[in-house]
């Protein structure tokens, strides 16, 4: 392998958000790009790759290998291969925390709980497939119901004096509950914290969180209060890797390095 040809790309086309990273042979992230996935996954992947190449000062011919993952992984025409998001999130988290762990990934449309042993081998997996409750889409809908920018939810939850607990997991019923909380005079920060509390309960009911808890995904990246709340419930800190929203794309890039970088 020549010195100038040691770069690898990972592409994660999620149901809501697309991510691309370029890494070098040691796993250092050289470039990253994120956007909404949109309706044309292929075009989104191409646009984000161009952004990353520009950031890194690279030409496409210098990329030794590319792996895609996520909901739209088969639409990434420039990727040589694809991996599941389960495998890529596991690889990305294990790179930073090489130990037995339980990964909690809160995505735009689903949640995953992935268990790894001390060697990084998957020992268990659960996914919330049938309902948007507890996902990024749920949080977006609740922000819309409260007429709040999504990016303000984390700060508001930290201002709460108490938690306005919500009993329903259903997105539609929760929206009705929120209206009832407002009518009853609950403060907005307390309601927002109640929304995050609902997500925490939903996650922790999916599976037992064993070993070291690690969180990944955009919801964890932009709502650190949720990470803290899960840690409080578990009675131990939750680890967060660098660039948690990009961890799937990063894991895909690691697979590309392992598959195409050893020749």
Q: How far is CA 222 from CA 139, 150, 178, 243, in A?
A: 12, 9, 22, 10
**Quick one: tokens of 213?**
């808890």
- What integer is the mean pLDDT of 8-15? 96
**Residue 3 confidence (pLDDT):** 47
CA distance 108 to 245: 11
Q: How do residues 253-263 score in pLDDT, each as one tens digit?
A: 999 999 998 65
**Quick one: tokens of 137?**
């889409």
**Residue 223 confidence (pLDDT):** 94
The strands making up 7-13's β-sheet, listed across from edge to edge, are: 29-36, 17-24, 7-13, 63-69, 81-82
CA distance 47 to 187: 42
Q: How do residues 139-198 score in pLDDT, each as one tens digit?
A: 888 898 899 999 999 999 999 999 988 876 666 677 788 888 888 999 999 999 999 998
The answer on pLDDT for 226 being more than 80 is yes
**Quick one: tokens of 121?**
């081998």
**Quick one: tokens of 54?**
């520009």
Residue (of 119, 128, 116) closest to 210 by Cα position = 116
- Higher-confidence residue of 132 and 199: namely 199
CA distance 151 to 146: 13
Q: How do residues 18-59 score in pLDDT, each as one tens digit?
A: 999 999 999 999 999 999 999 999 999 999 999 999 999 999
Task: Name the burial class of residue 104, with classes exposed (0-12), middle (13-18) and buried (19+) by CB atoms within 10 angstroms of its CB.
Answer: buried
Going by C-beta distance under 8 Å and a sequence separation of 6 or more, which residues neighbour residue 194? Answer: 163, 164, 165, 166, 181
For all residues of the chain together, what is the average pLDDT? 91
Going by C-beta distance under 8 Å and a sequence separation of 6 or more, which residues neighbour residue 124? Answer: 113, 114, 115, 207
CA distance 102 to 86: 12
- Count of C-beta atoms within a 10 Å radius of residue 155: 12
Cα Rg for the chain, rounded, in angstroms?
19
Residue (of 44, 33, 37) closest to 16 by Cα position = 37
Instruction: Kindly list the structural domains of the chain, giving each domain's residue range(s) and its CATH number in brackets, ordered by start.
Output: 7-88+245-260 (3.30.420.40), 100-240 (3.30.420.40)
CA distance 237 to 232: 8
In the chain, % of residues over pLDDT 90: 75
**Residue 145 confidence (pLDDT):** 87
**Residue 175 confidence (pLDDT):** 76
**Quick one: tokens of 102?**
């339980």
Region for residue 243 given its phi and psi (left: phi exceeds 0; alpha: psi -120 to 50; beta: otherwise): left
């Amino acid at each position: 392998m020549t010195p100038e040809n040691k770069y690898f790309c990972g592409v994660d086309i999620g149901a809501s958000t697309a991510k691309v990273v370029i890494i070098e042979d040691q796993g250092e992230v050289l470039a990253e790009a994120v956007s909404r996935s949109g309706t044309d996954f292929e075009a989104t992947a191409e646009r984000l790759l161009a952004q990353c190449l520009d950031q890194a000062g690279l030409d496409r011919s210098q990329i030794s290998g590319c792996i895609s993952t996520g909901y739209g992984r088969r639409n990434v025409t420039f990727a040589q291969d694809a991996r599941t998001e389960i495998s890529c999130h596991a690889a990305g988290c294990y790179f930073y925390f090489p130990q037995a762990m339980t990964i909690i990934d809160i995505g735009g449309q689903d949640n995953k709980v992935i268990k790894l042993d001390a060697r990084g081998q998957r020992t268990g997996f659960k996914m919330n497939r049938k309902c948007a409750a507890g996902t990024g889409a749920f949080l977006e809908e609740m922000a819309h119901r409260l007429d709040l920018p999504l990016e303000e939810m984390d700060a508001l939850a930290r201002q709460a004096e108490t938690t306005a607990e919500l009993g329903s997991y259903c997105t539609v019923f929760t929206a009705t509950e929120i209206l009832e909380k407002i009518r009853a005079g609950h403060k907005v920060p307390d309601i927002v914290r109640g929304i995050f509390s609902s997500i925490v309960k939903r996650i922790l009911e999916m599976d037992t969180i064993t070993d070291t808890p690690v969180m990944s995904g955009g919801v964890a990246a932009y709502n650190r209060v949720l990470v803290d709340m899960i840690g409080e419930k578990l009675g131990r800190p939750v680890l967060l890797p660098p660039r948690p929203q990009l961890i799937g794309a990063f894991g895909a890039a690691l697979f590309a390095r392992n598959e195409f970088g050893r020749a």
